[in-house]
């Protein structure tokens, strides 16, 4: 028996930047993007500079579909930035693929962005009023054009000036003729780390796992409000804007987005996920014979739940890993075409058993019910669903596509109504307090999608715009 996936929150891209003299930086960026593929599967691109000329290759598709040995060979240079895309603002067309590259009065410029500006509509209007034409609907192009127009003497000055006008989530890699800049917004929403390459040079990436893939050592985060310059023999670090206190790191990096081998906010994501499972077991003891994860992101939490509860852990599902994660695809029609990602139940592990099923989130509520049905059809006596975060009742404006208010299951329904609709024998969401205990901090993380308190002013009507552009699918609970 099998099922198509869907219904998780969707991430807004992965970025990478590499300065490595005498190395094939395009190939290194290619492998780095491979390690970030889970953050966006809609488009990929790499821009390279050899100190004089900048070249770019980007297209819609997976990293392995976009690049060939021939296209990589044409990207010669010492400096590279790359991007894997999942759209949040902007439609899903190939013209929104990143990096964006333009020629400016100060030489070529390329930019790749993870996040979402909440004031991009106003900035866009201002640019157009000044006569600037835009070729895409992406806020990342707005960032690029603003940098190109600023009159500062150096790129650092221009970036700093633009940062004062940008409100929202941005972890950026910016490529100029002979420099890479890693830039993070003062709230620190999205991750960005930097590391030392073994053969000399530096790399920066959305996740530390991508830096390890490149053999990096001495990894540090780009801190909130910082500009880190990658060229020459030493990193240059500038605190361009004062960090906002408390910070607003996206809690979903721990819950779902980042690979478990990532370190985010100095914490192992794998370890935090185990803690989330432990907290669930303590909050909601359940009589059952087996604990199973919905793979892959919930595996550490199920292990944690098992160790805290004493209920044996086992595999309940086998996930087909050879086909893309269809839920990353941003339109309903694309998703339907890509109904290839499948779960198969290991019947003997659930037959005649009371099952605790651990999952990371319920967003629209369109997939949990079918997954529960799979277990019941395979002979599970009872299915108790445990979710490693609180109910998602509010949309995200900072780069994560969760849908508008009316799309969110927990906005429209009570927990008991959701339990009934998904056909579970019980349903429990981890409390906000339990989640923060698992992370090991009381504050410093954005919790807006659970609690509705946004760390910056947002236009509550703007989330609808994204959906009208066809960014997300919607299914009835």
E-strand stretches of 177-334? 179-184, 193-196, 202-205, 217-221, 226-230, 236-239, 249-250, 263-264, 267-268, 290-293, 317-319
Secondary structure (3-state) at 154: coil
The site that binds ligand SF4 (CB under 6 A) totals a number of residues, namely 11
Burial 224-243, CB ≥16 within 10 A → b, else e? bbbbbbbbeeebeeeebbeb
Catalytic position from the list 13, 179, 284, 449:
13
**Token pair belonging to 372:** 């529960």
Closer CB to ligand SF4, 67 or 189, in the complex? 189
Q: Which stretch binds ligand SF4 (CB under 6 A): 37-45, 91-99, 157-165, 250-258?
A: 250-258
**Of the candidates 19, 86, 181, 189, which one interacts with ligand SF4 according to CB under 6 A?**
189
CB of 192 to ligand SF4, least distance (A): 14
**Token pair belonging to 233:** 């023999």
Smallest CA-to-CA distance from 180 within 85, 36, 71, 47 is with: 47
CB of 98 to ligand SF4, least distance (A): 20
Compute the half-sphere exposure of residue 312: CA atoms within 13 Å on the CB side of its CA: 9
Distance of CA 365 to the CA centre of its chain: 20
CB of 383 to ligand SF4, least distance (A): 27
CB of 233 to ligand SF4, least distance (A): 36
Q: Can residue 280 be called a binding residue for ligand SF4 (CB under 6 A)?
A: no
CA distance 192 to 114: 9
- Which residues within the stretch 429-448 sit at the binding site for ligand SF4 (CB under 6 A)? 446-448
Q: How many CB atoms lie under 10 A from the CB of residue 72?
A: 18
Closer CB to ligand SF4, 372 or 448, in the complex? 448
Query: Would you call 13 a catalytic residue per the annotation?
Result: yes
Give Dmax over CA atoms of the chain in angstroms: 71
**Of the candidates 240, 251, 299, 387, which one interacts with ligand SF4 according to CB under 6 A?**
251
**Token pair belonging to 454:** 């946004």
The mark string for 210-249 relative to ligand SF4 (x by CB under 6 A, - otherwise) is ----------------------------------------
Q: Can residue 290 be called a binding residue for ligand SF4 (CB under 6 A)?
A: no
The mark string for 139-178 relative to ligand SF4 (x by CB under 6 A, - otherwise) is ----------------------------------------
The mark string for 386-425 relative to ligand SF4 (x by CB under 6 A, - otherwise) is ----------x-x-x-------------------------
CB of 324 to ligand SF4, least distance (A): 22
Q: Counting every residue, how long is the chain?
A: 477
CB of 448 to ligand SF4, least distance (A): 4
CA distance 429 to 425: 14
Closer CB to ligand SF4, 294 or 449, in the complex? 449
Asked if residue 185 lies in contact with residue 170, where contact means CB atoms within 8 angstroms, the answer is yes
Closer CB to ligand SF4, 113 or 384, in the complex? 113
| Residues contacting 198, CB < 8 A, separation 6+ | 215, 216, 217
Closer CB to ligand SF4, 147 or 272, in the complex? 272
Distance of CA 156 to the CA centre of its chain: 27
CB of 11 to ligand SF4, least distance (A): 9
Closer CB to ligand SF4, 11 or 23, in the complex? 11
Is 266 exposed, middle or buried (CB count within 10 Å of its CB: 0-12, 13-18, 19+)? exposed
Helix or strand run (H / E) with residue 451:
helix 448-451
Closer CB to ligand SF4, 142 or 251, in the complex? 251
Burial 83-115, CB ≥16 within 10 A → b, else e? bbbbbbbbbbeeebbbbbbeebebebbbbbbbb
The mark string for 252-271 relative to ligand SF4 (x by CB under 6 A, - otherwise) is x-------------------
Q: Can residue 250 be called a binding residue for ligand SF4 (CB under 6 A)?
A: yes
Q: Can residue 202 be called a binding residue for ligand SF4 (CB under 6 A)?
A: no
Q: Can residue 449 be called a binding residue for ligand SF4 (CB under 6 A)?
A: yes
CA distance 254 to 268: 9
The mark string for 99-128 relative to ligand SF4 (x by CB under 6 A, - otherwise) is ------------------------------
- Helices 269-283 and 299-309, axial angle in degrees (round to 10): 40
CA distance 280 to 267: 19
CB of 70 to ligand SF4, least distance (A): 38
CB of 446 to ligand SF4, least distance (A): 3
Please identify every residue annotated as catalytic: 13
Binding site for ligand SF4 (CB under 6 A): 189, 250-252, 396, 398, 400, 446-449
């Amino acid at each position: 028996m099998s099922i198509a996936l869907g219904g998780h929150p969707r991430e807004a891209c992965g970025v990478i930047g590499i300065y490595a003299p005498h190395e094939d930086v395009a190939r290194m960026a290619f492998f780095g993007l491979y390690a970030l593929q889970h953050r966006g599967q809609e488009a990929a691109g790499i821009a390279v500079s050899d100190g004089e000329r900048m070249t770019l290759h980007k297209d819609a598709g997976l990293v392995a579909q976009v690049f060939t040995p021939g296209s990589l060979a044409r990207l010669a240079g010492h400096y590279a930035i790359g991007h894997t895309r999942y759209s949040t603002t902007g439609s899903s067309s190939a013209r929104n693929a990143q990096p964006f590259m333009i020629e400016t009065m100060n030489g070529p410029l390329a930019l790749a962005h993870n996040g979402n500006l909440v004031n991009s509509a106003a900035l866009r209007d201002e640019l157009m009023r000044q006569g600037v034409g835009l070729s895409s609907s992406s806020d990342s192009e707005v960032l690029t054009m603003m940098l190109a127009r600023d009159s500062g003497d150096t790129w650092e000055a221009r970036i700093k000036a633009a940062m004062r006008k940008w409100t929202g989530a941005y972890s950026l890699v910016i490529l100029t003729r002979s420099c890479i800049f890693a830039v993070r917004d003062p709230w620190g929403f999205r991750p960005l780390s930097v590391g030392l390459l073994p053969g000399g040079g530096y790399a920066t990436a959305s996740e530390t796992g991508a830096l390890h893939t490149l053999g990096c050592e001495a990894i540090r985060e780009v801190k909130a409000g910082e500009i880190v310059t990658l060229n020459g023999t030493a990193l240059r670090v500038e605190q361009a804007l004062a960090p906002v206190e408390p910070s607003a790191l996206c809690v979903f990096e721990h819950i779902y987005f980042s690979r478990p081998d990532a370190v985010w906010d100095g914490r192992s994501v794998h370890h935090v996920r185990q803690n989330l499972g432990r907290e669930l077991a303590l909050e909601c003891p359940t009589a059952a014979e087996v604990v199973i994860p919905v793979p892959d992101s919930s595996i550490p939490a199920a292990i944690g739940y098992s160790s805290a509860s004493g209920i044996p852990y086992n595999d309940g599902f086998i996930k087909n890993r050879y086909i893309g994660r269809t839920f990353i695809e941003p339109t309903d029609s694309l998703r339907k075409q890509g109904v290839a990602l499948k779960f198969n139940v290991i019947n003997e592990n659930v037959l005649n058993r009371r099952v605790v099923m651990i999952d990371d989130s319920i967003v629209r509520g369109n997939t949990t019910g079918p997954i529960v049905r799979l277990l019941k059809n395979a002979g599970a006596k009872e299915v108790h669903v445990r979710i490693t975060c609180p109910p998602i009742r509010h949309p995200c404006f900072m780069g994560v596509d969760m849908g508008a208010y009316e799309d969110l299951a927990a906005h429209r329904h009570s927990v008991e109504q959701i339990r009934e609709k998904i056909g579970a024998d019980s349903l429990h969401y981890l409390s906000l307090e339990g989640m923060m205990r698992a992370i090991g901090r009381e504050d410093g993380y954005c919790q807006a999608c659970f609690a509705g308190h946004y760390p910056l002013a947002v236009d509550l009507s703007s989330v609808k715009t994204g959906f009208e552009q066809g960014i997300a699918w919607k299914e009835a609970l």
